[in-house]
């Protein structure tokens, strides 16, 4: 009996880590998504925010800072305490969320979004690396997938922020106040309960920070993964940040209704995709080390009709159908990125690797947000824009199939 209890303890700890990080993932994306769904109210209330290009630059300012600092956050998480990085990141971005509710000018909004990028850049690389530390190959995709459902739930809640912004008794500033306060409060129990995995005595190698970088950029499979991680994310960020505005304009919806439809269906589908994609990938890995590659590629195949259709859906029900297809594909894709990275990079460089992936992907996502606003101002047709996204998704599908991963390590982690 004691032997069984001892054997199950690492498993309980591994899932406890996922449970503790799930609300953090929710808050991480809730604080981001609220901005996209409250655009109309914020534009009316903030001086100097007058064009779609301005709005695109606000969105991009977060992404560019976030992207630039992600490798820094990953490197710190690899070399020091992932627990400290995660807790401090949550506390700091929650304070910045609260400060966003005090903004009165375009320049001030750009500044708070940039600060949000600084604080949030340290979370995702550290969190996904920590989950990978605790979960052996047999549960890794499922664990990452469950964590990612917290992100999608945060996006769903953020999608309802348009209703809050429309409410005379609440408003967009109240939404940022509430989100910031929740994060500050949760940072305290998170810091007390979260534990670091024990590493082998030589795991924290006393080497220059350049060594992990050199190791990663000389890895052919890692370069392919960076390309694969980046290309679909350009369309993904445009859909997350601009779809409420697109639907509002195309189908003459209210701000609240457009935000709800743009977020709810795609994120519910993403939750299903993450859970199914995680289970399928872990099962497929029993047959081949490319199981996660194939699962992710399957998700990418769903992007093709989804992106092509979103360029000119014709009716609202068809738009919803294409958003659901995109969400399912995104869940398959998102759930398996860190597990694939775990097959081609040592544990000691995984957070750094994911940070580098974020650097490239989100930098391009920021350009996509800004560029989309510029193209909208110039009247470029949506079918042409989304047709280009479809071509990029097809290229991504070919890229991921070129990756040659090794089998997962199965040594369980222990608690510090």
Counting Cα atoms < 13 Å in the Cβ hemisphere of 202 gives 1
* Closest among 7, 10, 5, 19 to 413, alpha carbons compared: 10
Transcribe 307-358 into DSSP letters: HHHHTS--SHHHHHHHHHHHHHHHHHHHHHHHHHHHHHS-GGGHHHHHHHHH
How far, in Å, CA of 403 to CA of 343, rounded? 10
How far, in Å, CA of 218 to CA of 265, rounded? 40
* Domain-embedded: residue 133: yes
How far, in Å, CA of 396 to CA of 189, rounded? 40
Output the pTM of the full model. 0.78
Structural domains counted in the chain:
1
Distance from CA of residue 291 to its chain's centroid? 22
Give the tokens for residue 88.
């401090």
- pLDDT attached to residue 159: 74
Q: Cα torsion for 220, 221, 222, 223, to the nearest 10°?
A: 50
* Domain-embedded: residue 328: yes
* Domain-embedded: residue 204: no
Please tell me whether residue 34 adopts helix, strand or coil conformation.
helix
Domain that holds residue 93: 17-197+209-400
CATH of the domain at 56: 1.20.1250.20
Give the tokens for residue 239.
């859909």
How far, in Å, CA of 402 to CA of 70, rounded? 26
- pLDDT attached to residue 407: 61
* Domain-embedded: residue 113: yes
The rounded average pLDDT for each run of 10 residues, N- to C-terminus, in the chain (416 residues) is 52 89 91 78 81 79 84 87 91 91 88 86 89 84 91 84 83 89 93 79 48 88 95 85 84 80 87 93 91 94 91 90 94 92 89 90 80 83 88 92 74 38
Give the tokens for residue 251.
């189908």
How far, in Å, CA of 191 to CA of 352, rounded? 22
* Closest among 140, 100, 151 to 263, alpha carbons compared: 151
Transcribe 38-105 into DSSP letters: THHHHHHHSBT--SHHHHHHHHHHHHHHHHHHHHHHHHHHHHS-HHHHHHHHHHHHHHHHHHHTT--B
Sort 244 into a burial class: Cβ within 10 Å, 0-12 / 13-18 / 19+.
buried
- pLDDT attached to residue 188: 92
* Domain-embedded: residue 221: yes
* b/e burial code for range 96-133 (CB count within 10 A of at least 16 → b): bbbbbbebeebebbbbbbbbbbbbbbbbbbbbbbbbbb
How far, in Å, CA of 140 to CA of 131, rounded? 8
* Domain-embedded: residue 8: no
* Domain-embedded: residue 370: yes
- pLDDT attached to residue 130: 92
Counting Cα atoms < 13 Å in the Cβ hemisphere of 381 gives 7
* Domain-embedded: residue 271: yes
Q: Give 80's contacts (C-beta < 8 A, 6+ positions apart).
A: none
Counting Cα atoms < 13 Å in the Cβ hemisphere of 331 gives 29
């Amino acid at each position: 009996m004691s032997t069984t209890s001892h054997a199950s303890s690492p498993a309980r700890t591994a899932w406890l880590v996922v449970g503790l990080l799930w609300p953090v993932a929710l808050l991480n994306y809730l604080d981001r998504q609220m901005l996209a769904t409250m655009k109309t109210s914020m534009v009316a209330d903030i001086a100097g925010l007058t064009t779609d290009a301005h709005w695109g630059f606000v969105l991009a300012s977060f992404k560019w800072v976030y992207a630039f600092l992600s490798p820094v956050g990953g490197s710190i998480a690899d070399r020091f305490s992932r627990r400290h990085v995660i807790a401090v990141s949550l506390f700091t971005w929650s304070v910045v969320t609260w400060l966003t509710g005090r903004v009165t000018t375009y320049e001030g909004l750009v500044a708070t979004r940039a600060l949000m990028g600084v604080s949030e850049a340290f979370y995702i690389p550290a969190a996904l690396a920590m989950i990978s530390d605790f979960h052996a190959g047999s549960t890794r995709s499922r664990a990452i997938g469950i964590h990612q459902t917290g992100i999608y739930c945060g996006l769903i809640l953020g999608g309802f922020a348009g209703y809050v912004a429309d409410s005379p008794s609440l408003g967009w500033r109240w939404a940022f106040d509430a989100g910031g306060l929740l994060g500050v409060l949760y940072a305290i129990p998170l810091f007390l309960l979260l534990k670091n995995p024990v590493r082998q005595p030589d795991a924290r190698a006393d080497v220059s920070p350049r060594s992990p970088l050199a190791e990663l950029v000389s890895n052919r499979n890692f370069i392919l993964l960076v390309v694969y991680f980046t290309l679909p994310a350009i369309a993904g960020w445009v859909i997350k940040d601009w779809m409420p505005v697109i639907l509002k304009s195309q189908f003459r919806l209210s701000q609240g209704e457009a935000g709800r439809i743009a977020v709810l269906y795609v994120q519910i589908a993403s939750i299903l995709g993450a859970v199914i994609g995680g289970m399928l990938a872990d099962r497929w890995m029993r047959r081949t080390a490319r199981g996660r590659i194939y699962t992710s590629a399957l998700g990418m195949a769903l992007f093709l009709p989804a992106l092509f259709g979103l360029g000119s859906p014709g009716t609202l029900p068809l738009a919803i159908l294409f958003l659901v297809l995109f969400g399912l594909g995104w869940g398959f894709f998102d759930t398996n990125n860190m597990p694939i990275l775990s097959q081609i990079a040592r544990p000691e460089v995984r957070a750094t690797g994911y940070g580098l992936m974020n650097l490239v992907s989100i930098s391009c996502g920021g350009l996509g947000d800004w560029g989309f606003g510029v193209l909208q101002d110039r009247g470029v047709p949506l079918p042409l824009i989304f047709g280009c996204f479809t071509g990029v998704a097809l290229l991504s599908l070919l890229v991921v199939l070129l990756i040659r991963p090794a089998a997962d390590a199965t040594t369980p982690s222990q608690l510090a």
